[in-house]
């Protein structure tokens, strides 16, 4: 059989990302460090370093490690992070080959900074109008992430975003994320016109992932319906929904919202301060789970694809299995169509 990476099935995403397989390991705070990114890149995939709210000196060192490897990678910058602009300038000055803007939508001049430094820019788009705006700003590719994904999410499912955006912008590479964990699904997304896919939860469970063993074990036995999206209690305190496994940490977040709403009503705290406390909660809760293994009070951010994953594998084996299954499905479809 022909080497899988030489099949036309992968070409557009391969050419854009300059990798063997256009499978992106989505950025996950406290998890997507240089070690995981390096493992994904060495296995032929595309790793993304999560800047989160990382101290700038540590962020700089992580980029140095990856540049020394001479592998293609991206840095994921959170536009609502206090360190965001410093991260953007550092990544640009150090020549990061790809920059992914996340959290919210970047300003036009911020995209310009990245592109002038020679980086390829990927932006998230949750609607047709946002896709148009990001392309106008200069985005080289888009990521469509459905609400099935883990962590901070939007309100629209992957299958609707495919119809709203993927089918309408064939001129630009588009990568699909949210709820993906099998090679069969990857195959069908390529056939729909996707240039590649982004997956997070499956890579959080990889052997090379720095997540605590208790964190990974919890994921192994979790069901899709346990990956719950947190509610917003009142529009006076806008919060971005977070998808995570139900535990006491979710209850703690509900209590935090109610307490902050009470303080806002009594003019004890501004809305901006309240939102900052919300984000601080998630940063701290995620660290508890990922680094300390506190699966009761920490944040177990996971996509609904967690219900499809029950093994912990080395990254190389994980990617090999996905590629093999995707190719087998592609060959099966060809047989059906002849």
Tell me what the mean pLDDT of segment 260-283 comes to. Answer: 88
> Integer distance in angstroms from the first to the last C-alpha of the chain?
19
In this predicted structure, the answer to whether residue 70 has a pLDDT above a threshold of 70 is yes
- Mean pLDDT across the stretch 278-299? 90
List the structure tokens of 131: 């896709």
Q: Which tokens hold the place of 128?
A: 């047709």
| Cβ contact 140:122 at 8 Å | yes
285-305 b/e with 16+ CB inside 10 Å = b?
bbbbbbeebbbebbbbbbbbb
Q: Mean pLDDT over residues 138-167, rounded?
A: 93
- The CATH number of domain 4-210+310-336 is 1.20.1050.10: no
Q: Which two tokens stand for residue 160?
A: 């609707």
* pLDDT-based confidence at residue 280 (cuts at 50, 70, 90): confident
Backbone angles phi, psi at 97, to 5 degrees: -70, -30
Is the CB of residue 223 less than 8 Å from the CB of residue 303? no
SS3 content of the chain, % helix, strand, coil (to 5): 50, 15, 35
Span 174-190, pLDDT tens digits: 999 999 999 999 999 99
Residue 8 has pLDDT above 80, yes or no: no
**pLDDT at position 6 over 80:** no
**For residue 1, what pLDDT band results from cuts at 50, 70 and 90?**
very low
Specify the pLDDT at position 2.
Answer: 47
Q: What pLDDT shows up at residue 3?
A: 54
Residue 235 is predicted with a pLDDT of: 86
Is pLDDT at 237 greater than 50 in this prediction?
yes
* Alpha-carbon distances of 203 from 32, 67, 289, 295, rounded to whole Å: 9, 21, 16, 18
Mean pLDDT in residue range 296-319 = 95
Let me know: does 120 contact 147? Beta carbons within 8 Å.
Answer: no
Q: Residues 213-231: what's their mean pLDDT? A: 93
Among the residue ranges 4-13, 111-120, 230-239, the one predicted with the least confidence is 4-13
> For position 104, what pLDDT does the model report?
83
Model confidence band, residue 5 (pLDDT cutoffs 50, 70, 90): low
pLDDT at residue 61, as a whole number: 96
CA distance 2 to 201: 30
* 333's tokens: 């479809």
Q: What confidence category does residue 242 fall into, taking pLDDT thresholds of 50, 70 and 90?
A: confident
pTM: 0.93
Give the three-state DSSP class for 151: strand
Quickly state the pLDDT bin for 172 (edges 50, 70, 90): very high
- pLDDT value of position 305: 96
Rounded to an integer, the average pLDDT of 121-139 is 94
Per-domain residue ranges for the chain? 4-210+310-336, 223-301
% the chain with pLDDT above 90? 77
Q: What is the pLDDT of residues 43-59, one digit of tens each?
A: 999 999 999 889 999 99
């Amino acid at each position: 059989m022909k080497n899988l990476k030489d099949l036309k099935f992968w070409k557009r995403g391969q050419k854009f990302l300059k990798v063997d397989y256009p499978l992106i390991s989505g950025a996950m705070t406290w998890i997507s460090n240089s070690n995981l990114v390096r493992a994904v890149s060495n296995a032929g995939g595309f790793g993304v370093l999560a800047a989160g709210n990382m101290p700038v000196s540590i962020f700089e060192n992580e980029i140095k490690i990856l540049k020394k490897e001479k592998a293609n990678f991206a840095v994921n910058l959170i536009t609502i992070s206090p360190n965001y602009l410093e991260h953007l300038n550092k990544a640009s000055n150090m020549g990061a080959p790809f920059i992914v803007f996340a959290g919210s939508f970047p300003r036009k001049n911020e995209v310009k900074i990245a592109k002038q430094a020679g980086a390829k820019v990927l932006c998230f788009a949750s609607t047709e109008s946002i896709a148009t705006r990001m392309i106008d700003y200069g985005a080289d590719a888009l990521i469509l992430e459905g609400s099935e994904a883990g962590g901070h999410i939007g309100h629209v499912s992957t299958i609707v975003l495919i119809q709203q955006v993927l089918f309408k912008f064939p001129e630009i590479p588009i990568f699909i994320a949210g709820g993906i964990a099998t090679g069969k699904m990857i195959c069908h997304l390529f056939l729909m016109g996707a240039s590649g896919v982004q997956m997070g939860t499956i890579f959080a469970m990889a052997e090379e992932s720095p997540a605590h063993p208790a964190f990974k074990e919890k994921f192994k036995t979790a069901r899709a319906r346990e990956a719950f999206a947190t509610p917003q209690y009142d529009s006076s305190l806008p919060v971005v929904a977070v998808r995570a496994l139900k535990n006491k940490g979710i209850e703690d977040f509900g209590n935090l919202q109610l307490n902050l709403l009470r303080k806002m009503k009594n003019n004890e705290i501004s809305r901006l301060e309240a939102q900052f406390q919300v984000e601080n909660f998630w940063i701290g809760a995620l660290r508890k789970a990922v680094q300390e293994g506190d699966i009761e009070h920490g944040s177990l951010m996971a996509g609904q694809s967690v219900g499809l994953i029950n093994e912990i594998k080395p990254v190389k084996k994980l990617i090999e299995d996905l590629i093999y299954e995707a190719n087998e499905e592609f060959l099966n479809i060809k047989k059906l169509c002849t």
